[in-house]
Structure 1
C-alpha cells in the first residue's frame, strides 16, 4: 500500500529515540511550516543538532533535509495534511474537534488513493447477481453491517446483517453457491470472523472481505476490498476505520445501483416517496 512520509513518521513515532522524536513532533505539529524551514531553524525548534535532523531525514529513505522537504511537500499536495496526532488530556473542544475531523478527512483521502477500482468492480459483479447477501460484523463493525443492510434491501435481493457470531456461523454453514457473504473487520484478525469466512467458502459462497490487506481474514476471502486506516484499534476506540468502512459500503451500493440501469431508479423513487407522509414539510 502506498503511504506518504507524514503517515510514516506518525506510524514510527513510538520507535524513535528521544532526539528523533523531538524532530518528528515539530514536523507533525506543523508540516506546512516544516516544508518552508531551513535545517537550522528546524534544529533549533526541536532543540537538537543539525546532524540529528539529517539522520532523522535519512531514516525515512530520503537523501537529506532538502530531499525530505520535497517528499513532505508531496505528501501535503492533496491539501489534507495527514497528521495522526492523538488527543491530549488538556485539549479544549476546538482542538479535539479539529483533530478528529482532520484525521477522518485524511484517512478518507488515503483510502481514495489505495482502494482498487478493479476490485470494486469484481465485488459489484458478485453482489448484483447474488441469490442472497449476508453482511457480517462484530463489535464496531456490527453497525456497519446493519447500515449495509439498510442500503442493499432496496435492490430486490434478499439481504441480512448479522452481528452475532452464532448466527454468522449457522448462516455461513447454510449458504451455497450463488450466495455472497460480506465480512467487515478493520483488523482482519478477529478469529471468529476468520472462521466464518472459511465456513462460507467451504459451503460454496463468495466471501467478500472489507478488511486490512494481508490479514488472516483477507487470506480466507474470495475478494478483498483493502481498507487500511492508520488507527490502532487494539488501543483506541474505532473512529476513522468505521467511517472508511461505511464509505466502502456506499461505494458498493452505488455500483450496484448504476449496474441496475436507469429503469431501476423508478423503484428507488417509490421507496423514497413512501416516506413522505412520515415527515413534516421542510421549512
Structure 2
C-alpha cells in the first residue's frame, strides 16, 4: 500500500532538486525511516544538508517534518496488524499462531517506547507509581 507521502513524492519527483531527489529515493526505499528517524538523520542518510531536508518536506506541501511524522504514524495505526503477517510462501495469513501475534505485539510495543520522549516516559511512570488507584481497561 502506498502512503500519502510516497504518492506526493512520486507526483513531484521530477520537480525536485537533485539533492531532494536523493532524499526522496531514501524515503521511497525505506518508508518506515520517517517514523524512526529525525529529519536531520534522514538528511545524513541521504547525504544531503538539513536545509535540503526542510525544503524537501515544504516542497511536498507539508508545514514541517513533524506533520510528515504524524501522518506516517496515523497511517500505520490505521493498518490492521494481520496485514503485516506473511506466510513463508509470501501470501497474507489471517489466522496466525499465538506466538506470531505476540511477536508482532512485542515489535509494536518496542516501536512505541523507542518513539517516546524519555522524560515523558519517566513522568508517566512516576504518575502511575504515585497514583492511589490505577485502572487497566482493555478492548
TM-score by length of 2: 0.49
Higher helix share: 2
TM-score by length of 1: 0.26
- Structure with greater contact order relative to length (CA < 8 Å, sep ≥ 6): 2
Higher strand share: 1
